[in-house]
Amino acid sequence: MTSRTRWEPAVTVLAKPYAAEMEVSVDRLVYVRDDEYTVARMSADGLPGFVASGRALAGVQPGETLRLTGEWDDHPRHGHRLVVGRCERVVPSTVRAISLYLGSGLIRGIGPRLAHAIVSHFGASTLTVIDTEPGRLRDVVNIGAVRQEQIVQAWAEQKEIAALMVVLQGFGISPLLATKIYQVYGAAAREVLTGDPYQLIGQVRSIAFHTADRIALRSGVPENSPRRIRAAVLDRLEAAAARDGHCFVPLPVLLAQAAALVEQDREPVERAVDGLAAERRVVVEASPAGQGQSVVYSKERHGREVALAANLARLCGARSTLPHRPYAEDQTLHPDQRAAVNLALTSTVSVLTGGPGCGKSHTVKVIAATVRAMGGSVTLTAPTGKAAKRLSELTGLPAMTLHRMLAHRTDPDDGTLFQESPARADLVVVDEASMLDLQMATRLAAAIPSGGHLLLVGDGDQLPSIGPGSVLADLLGVPEVPRVRLTHVFRQAQDSGIVRAAHRIRAGEPPELPGGGGFWFEELDDPALVADRVIHLATEAIPRKQNIGADQVQVLCPMRKGETGTAELGRRLQERLNPAREGDAEHWSGASVFRVGDRVMPIRNNYDKGVFNGESATVTAVDPLERRLEIRTDEGRTVEYAFGETDELTHAYAISVHRSQGSEYPFVVAPVVAEAGGVMLRRSLLYTLVTRAKAWVVLVGDREALELAVHRAGHPRNTGLTARLALALRT
């Protein structure tokens, strides 16, 4: 029996009017939300194109054939659509569906033209031929041995991923994870899922304890399994590092958190910690700060912290190899600046801090010029490409990223001032040192030879690093480490409303409102209205008033989630500035869609590609045939990402304040609201946000939220570097 309501002529009637069950092909994705709610355009034999929506569609890709169960619905905004309650992936069986599947880009190496040629040759038997007689593919024009092998391999991968999706759905887990799991484990993925799902934690991005634990428990792993409890302990250690930047967790806290996670008594958790310590996967020791309690490190973070303290002590205790030739002091410098110059020339390790407008960059320029005049070599470096570029512009000298310096590149044509490893210069200057995490600082200190000078330059009131540790703050906590803090704000900076607001925030005082001189605050208390206003300012009001492109305006957000978070504001900004265009290729990865022209940034260091967390780039190509996209970094390098690697990229239309560190933007717009309790709002975040702007910063939101941020100090990170370094320097 069939129903022909409106334009769905071939619909099987189920329990009530408008219910439907049908086999369809996915034409394109329209919208994917973070909670996996998906909207897609569908088509089927005998049906015009229509819209389907629902969480059951999570992970579907253009070209797939689906069996959908749902109900037709008239939405006031989205019109007539099928609300899907159940979605089952099926092998396409009709010539049309097979042609759409092969030409969609799901099978690497086959585009629409080749798909048409293959299906024209083999008809409805096409997939059977690929599966059982792949040699016959070479009967088709333009398919040789290499292309045949490519097609067969891609077809096998797609079948395995589809099977993984079924397994995951059986465990109540998002099918979106299937591709990520397959990329890590390949053909062994299903065996890992059913054999030891706790392996997935830390190996597959987006899989933490809760996901692996659900699979394990449904596979029959006992709730009191030692393997399960050990996984919980390691998960709490990694969560503390990833979420809060801690290097260690106090033992009583870790025991309580892990016990709560697995709903077990404390005793089996204590045994789990003892076992992990015996296997040297964790280190349990007395608190480095002498607080009378034991703390727990992961093996890797403990080793790095110990090595960093040892290498810093080595550098501090070494005799300087800097050429000691007479130099004339620059009398135009402020006395604090002259003190900083002297300190950098006489101390093998020193720290230079200060707020905006206090002349840190000019001081670095004088230090570098003085060392070169004395016959020494200098390396200027910073954690990100943008920070290095800005350092170079402000000093007039070449600068590079820390990653590049530590890669030991010595090409004489790359702008360096010497032929040997740049880390072996007489003076290494690291700007934006507040961004140094434990891992990078450990590599840095190990690379500098004894006798070389290391100058760390930064603002200790900014946010700490994204990664674990608080290296700059830890060094400032050791009295024996030489330092100079610049406090004098120069006259030209005193006229900046941004500088005035920043110094008030740093002092724990609310900025003057509504502001002026480049700092503005617009008061709105409804998050939805705040989001609308931020979008309008970033895409219309500021570009029109300043006669600039919208790419000169950066939206920064304290949070990721909510109406004013990076995810939702970024989606809306992308749709406004770079919407989908008929005929243009795009690629969906989870809830993100990548198009040519998108502003993106890597969120993970990838040494093979030579790209690093926090760099800025633009998507320059999306190639469905080869299943890859191409980005061009702001440093001018072209980098390829396979579609399966795009979770290493995030859109940069709206970014977190943390990810903006080391960068400056002509114009900044930011929401300041107390969504979710304003948990991220704190003084260091607001201070960092305001100081990212060069010309204007416009804050939109709730005055109470602004004052909350000003008065709320951040939580210190659990690290042992201060105590370890102080002990090493005193012995």
Q: Known binding site for ATP: residues?
A: 357-361
Q: What is the DSSP string of 283-306?
A: EEEE-TT--SSEEEEEHHHHHHHH
370, 401, 614, 616 from 634: Cα distances, Å: 30, 13, 11, 6
Query: What letter represents residue 152's amino acid?
Result: V
Question: Which ranges in 483-597 belong to alpha helices (H)?
Answer: 491-494, 497-506, 527-536, 542-546, 566-577
Number of Cβ atoms within 10 Å of the Cβ of 405: 25
Dihedral through CA 615, CA 620, CA 621, CA 627, nearest 10? 0
φ/ψ of residue 656, rounded to 5: -70, 155
Q: Which residues make beta-bridge pairs with 427?
A: 378, 453
- Helix locations, 379-437, DSSP H: 385-395, 402-406
Specify binding-site residues.
357-361
- Say which amino acid occupies 501: A
Question: What is each CA distance from 717 to 246, 255, 714, in whole angstroms?
Answer: 5, 19, 9
User: Which residues sit opposite 483 in a β-bridge?
Assistant: 351
Residue of 206, 211, 207, 209 lying closest to 228 (CA atoms):
209
The rounded distance, in Å, linking the Cα atoms of 47 and 12 is: 13
CA dist 586 and 27 (Å) reads 12
**C-alpha span between 477 and 471 (Å, rounded):** 10
Query: What is the Cα 625 distance to its own chain's centre?
Result: 27
**Nearest to 439, CA basis, from 581, 607, 664, 647:** 607
